[in-house]
Amino acid sequence: MRLLGMIGAFVILCIGFNIFTDGRFLTPRNLFNLSIQTVSVAIMACGMVFIIVTRHIDLSVGALLATTSAVMAVTQTELLPHILGLGLGNPVTWAITIVVGLLIGALIGAFHGWMVGYLTIPAFIVTLGGFLVWRNVAWYMTSGQTIGPLDSTFLMFGGTNGTLGTSASWLLGLFATAIAIWALWSGRRAKAAHGFPVKPVWAEATMATIIAVAILGYVYIVNSYAIPTRRLQRMFEARGEVMPEGLVVGYGIPISVLILIIVAVSLTVVARKTRFGRYIFATGGNPDAAELSGINTRLLTVKIFALMGFLCAVSAVVASARLANHSNDIGTLDELRVIAAAVIGGTALSGGIGTIYGAILGALIMQALQSGMAMVGVDAPFQNIVVGSVLVLAVYIDIVYRKRLGAK
C-alpha cells in the first residue's frame, strides 16, 4: 500500500511537470536521462537502507564515492597504462580498475564498521570524520585536478555510452517480468502448501500488473529514445561501415540502470531471504535481543558498512563514467541525497524498518523533483528549498500513516 502511495506520488509529479513544461518532461529522452541521473544515488541508497535499519547513519558516502572514484581514475589513466605499461585502451584496464575500486571501497567501509562495531564509536561521528577524511584524500590524490578522459570501455557504465540496444532490452524486460511473476507465484504457493492464509488474488494480481507495467513501460520508453543521427553515423564510421539512410536506432536499457537493477534485486533477496538480512532487521528492531539470540552484532556492523563502501565504489564507477572524468567535487552532497532517498522511501531512522525498492523510488522522486524544477525554470535556491521541504513533509506523512495503522 505504501508502495502504491509512492508510485502515485511519482506519477502525479511527472504528470504535473509535464503540464508545466508543455510536454517536455515525459519524453523518452528526459525519462532516459532521469533514470541515468538517479542511478548513482539510488545504488548508495540501497546500502543506506541497511545502515539506517541497524540504527546507524553514514555521512561519508559522498566522500567515499570521491575517494574510490579518484583511485579508479588514477588506476586507469596513470597506474595501469603508464606505470604498469599496459598502454591506453587495453581491454583489461576497465576490469582491473573496477576490481581495485570495489576492493578499496569495501575496505574503507569495513574500517568504518570496525570502528562503529568494535570500538563502539557512534556511526555519526565515525562517518562525520570519514566525510572530511575521504573527501580530502580524494583531493590530495588528484591534487584537486580533473582526471580524464577515462578508459573508453569504462565509460560504458555511465549511461549514454553503454546501452543494451532495443532487442536485448525487450528480451531482458520480458525475462525480468517473468521472473518477478514467478517469484510472486512461488511465494504464494509455498504459503498455500502449508495451508497458511494467502493474500487475495486481486492484490497479487495488482502487484504483478504494477511490476509488468513498470518494467515493460520503462523498456518501451528507453527503446523509443533514438540515438541522434550524427552520433549513429559516427558509430558506423568507427566500425568502417556506412549508415543506411533513414535508420533509427533506440538506446535501450543503459548498463548503469541494469547495474542498479542487479543491486536492488540482490539486496532485496538479501534483506528478505538470507540470515544476514534477517539479522540486520532483528538488530535494528532490538539490538539487545539480537545479541542475546547469539547474533554477532559487531561483525554484522562491519559487514553492513563494508557493503556500503562497496556500493559507494559501484556508484563511483557509474558517476565518473557518466561525467567521462573524475572531478574533484564528484559526489558532493550525495550523502544528504542518499539519506533523504532512503528516508523518503520509508526507512525509519529509529531502526528496524525499510525497503530497498522504497529507497530507489525515493531517489527517483527526488531526482524527478530536481530535474523537473530545473526544466520549469525554478531558480536553484528554490529547488533546494523545495527538496528540503518535501523531505520533511514525506517523513511527516509517513508518521501519520503509521499511526493510523496502529503500528509504531
Enumerate binding residues for other proteins (CB under 8 A): 190-191, 193-194, 196, 269, 273-275, 278-279, 281-286, 288-296, 351-353, 406-408
Q: Which is nearer to other proteins, 48 or 295 (CB)?
A: 295
Name residue 250's beta-bridge partners: 226
- Residue 274 beta carbon to other proteins: minimum distance, rounded to whole angstroms: 6
Residue of 251, 289, 333, 277 lying closest to 47 (CA atoms): 277
Residue of 168, 148, 140 lying closest to 67 (CA atoms): 140
Q: Which is nearer to other proteins, 118 or 140 (CB)?
A: 118
Q: From residue 287, how far is each of 59, 119, 378 by CA, in Å? A: 22, 16, 45
364 CB neighbour count, 10 Å cutoff: 26
Q: Using the 8-state DSSP alphabet, how is residue 163 labeled?
A: B
C-alpha gyration radius of the chain: 22
- Residue 190 beta carbon to other proteins: minimum distance, rounded to whole angstroms: 4
Q: Which is nearer to other proteins, 28 or 285 (CB)?
A: 285
- Residue 183 beta carbon to other proteins: minimum distance, rounded to whole angstroms: 12
Q: Which is nearer to other proteins, 231 or 272 (CB)?
A: 272
- Residue 310 beta carbon to other proteins: minimum distance, rounded to whole angstroms: 20
The gap between the terminal CA atoms of the chain, to the nearest Å, is 17
Q: Which is nearer to other proteins, 29 or 188 (CB)?
A: 188
Name residue 326's beta-bridge partners: 147
- Residue 308 beta carbon to other proteins: minimum distance, rounded to whole angstroms: 21
- Residue 197 beta carbon to other proteins: minimum distance, rounded to whole angstroms: 8
Q: Which is nearer to other proteins, 242 or 292 (CB)?
A: 292
Burial 226-254 (b: 16+ CB within 10 A, else e): bbeeeebeeeeeeeeeeeeeeeebbbbbb
291 CB neighbour count, 10 Å cutoff: 15
